[in-house]
Amino acid sequence: MPGQRAPRQMKKLVIGASGFVGSHVVRRLVTDGEDVRVMLRKTSSTKGIDDLAVERCYGDVFDGDALRAAMAGCDVVYYCVVDARVWLRDPAPLFRTNVEGLRHVLDVAVDAGLSRFVFTSTIGTLAISDGRPVTEEDPHNWDDGGPYIEARVAAEDLVLRYARERGLPAIAMCISNTYGPGDWGPTPHGGLLARVAAGQFPLHLGFSMEVVGIEDVARAMVLAGERGRVGERYIISDRYLSTKEVHRIAAEAVGVRAPRIGVPVAVLLAASRLNDLAARLLRRDLPFARAGVKMADLMSPLDHRKAEQELGWVPRPVEESIAAAARFFRDQQA
C-alpha cells in the first residue's frame, strides 16, 4: 500500500566467520544480498572476509552478553565454530570448545526467536559401512576416531536434543573434506594440497575420502537456513575419491608433476604410532596422530540425495574446487 514501509530485513549471523567454512558462508550471504553480521574473537584472522561489507561484533562462545547482542535482530544463525585438532594429547580443549562452548550458544539461541540455527557438523558423526553408501538415517557405529570424534558426536547430539526438547529450530550439516580457494589456515588436508601444488609432495596416501567444494558447502548452509527441516541432519559431500586422484587433479591444475609414490594405509598407521610415541616422549602435540589416520581410513562412501531432494542442493563436480584450491595455493606462494 502507498506509504507503507517494507518489512525490515532480518540479519543473518555467522559465528566463527574467520574459518574456512564460516568465511565462505559469509561470502555467499553477501553475494545473495543479505544483511550479514559476524561474531569473531578479536584475535581472529579475518583474511577471508576483509573485502566484505559486514557488521562485526566481538566475543567468544562463553560470553553470554556478547552472544545475546550478536543474535539480536537476527533470524538465522550459522554456527561454524570447530576445534578440529585431532592430534591433541589433552582432549579437554576439544570438549571445551566443541561441546561446552556450543552449549552456551544453544542456551542463548533458544530464547533468540530464530527461524533456523544451522550447525556445522562433520561426516565423522555418521556411520561407516562396507556395503551400501551411508545415509543420515544410519546411526553412528564406530569408536576409533579418538576424542575429536567423541566431541563432535556429542556436539551434534546436543544440537539435535535442543531441537527435540527445547524447540530450537536447529539443523545439522554433516560436511566432508572441503577444498577450494580461500583456505588461509590452511586446513590439514588443504595444507597437504598446498605442498602438492608446490611440487613438494611426491606421495599419494593409500585411502579414499569424501570430498566437496567449499563454495558448494556455503550454498548448502544458506539453503538449510531457508528450507532445511528442523531437527534433521544433511550430508554435504560430492563424491568419494582416492587421495591419488585428488593429488593428480591438483597437480595438473598448476602444471606440476603428479605425486607418483603410493603409501599404503598399513605404513601410515605404523608411522602414526611412532608419531604418538614421540609426542608422549617429547610432551608435544605432533600432527600425524593415529586417530586422524584411522579416521581417514574408516570413512565410507556417502549418499547425499537427502540434501538434493529437501534443500535443492546440487554440488558442482568437486574436481573444479580441487583445481581452484591448487591455483589458490600456487598464487600464495608466488
- The arithmetic mean of pLDDT across residues 269-292, rounded, is 94
Q: Could you tell me the residue ranges of all domains in the chain?
A: 11-183+210-239+301-316
User: In this predicted model, what pLDDT tens digit does every residue of 22-44 receive, in sequence order?
Assistant: 999 999 999 999 999 999 999 99
Cell of 290: 593415529
Burial readout 185-197 (b: 16 or more C-beta within 10 A, e: otherwise): ebbbbbebbbbbb
Helices (H), the chain: 20-31, 64-71, 92-95, 102-109, 146-166, 188-197, 214-227, 243-254, 265-282, 290-298, 305-311, 318-333
Phi, psi (deg, nearest 5) at residue 25:
-65, -45
- Does pLDDT of 8 surpass 90? no
Superfamily of domain 11-183+210-239+301-316: NAD(P)-binding Rossmann-like Domain (3.40.50.720)
CA 79 to chain centre: 10
Banded model confidence at residue 318, pLDDT cuts 50, 70, 90:
very high
Nearest to 152, CA basis, from 183, 118, 122: 122
SS (H, E, C) 43-98: CCCCCCCCCCCCEEEECCCCCHHHHHHHHCCEEEEEECCCCCCCCCCCCHHHHHHH
Query: What is the structure's pLDDT at 173?
Result: 98
- In this predicted structure, what is the pLDDT of residue 5? 47
- Any residues with CB less than 8 A from the CB of 25 and at least 6 apart, and which? 14, 17, 78, 80, 218, 221, 222
Q: Using a pLDDT cut of 70, give the percent of the chain over it.
A: 97
Cα 172 off chain centre by: 11
Q: In the predicted model, what is the mean pLDDT of residues 109-130?
A: 97
Please state, in angstroms and rounded to a whole number, the distance separating the CA atoms of residues 78 and 76: 7
- CA angle, corner 76, sides to 72 and 224, nearest 5? 175
Four-CA torsion 245, 316, 128, 247, nearest 10 degrees? 20
pTM of the model: 0.95
The pLDDT value given to residue 144: 83
Task: Look at residue 228 and tell me whether its pLDDT is greater than 60.
Answer: yes
What digits encode the pLDDT tens for the residues 153-180?
A: 999 999 999 999 999 999 999 999 999 9
pLDDT at 319 over 90: yes
**What pLDDT, on a 0 to 100 scale, did the predictor assign at position 199?**
95
Which backbone phi and psi does 128 adopt, to 5 degrees?
A: -120, 155
Q: Is residue 94 predicted with pLDDT exceeding 90?
A: yes
Residue of higher predicted confidence among 311 and 144:
311
Predicted confidence band at 190 (pLDDT cuts at 50, 70, 90)? Answer: very high
Sign of CA dihedral 276, 202, 322, 184: positive
CA angle 285, 286, 290 (to 5 degrees): 110
User: Do the Cβ atoms of 177 and 205 come closer than 8 Å?
Assistant: no
Are 193 and 326 contacting, i.e. CB atoms less than 8 angstroms apart? yes
pLDDT at 143: 86
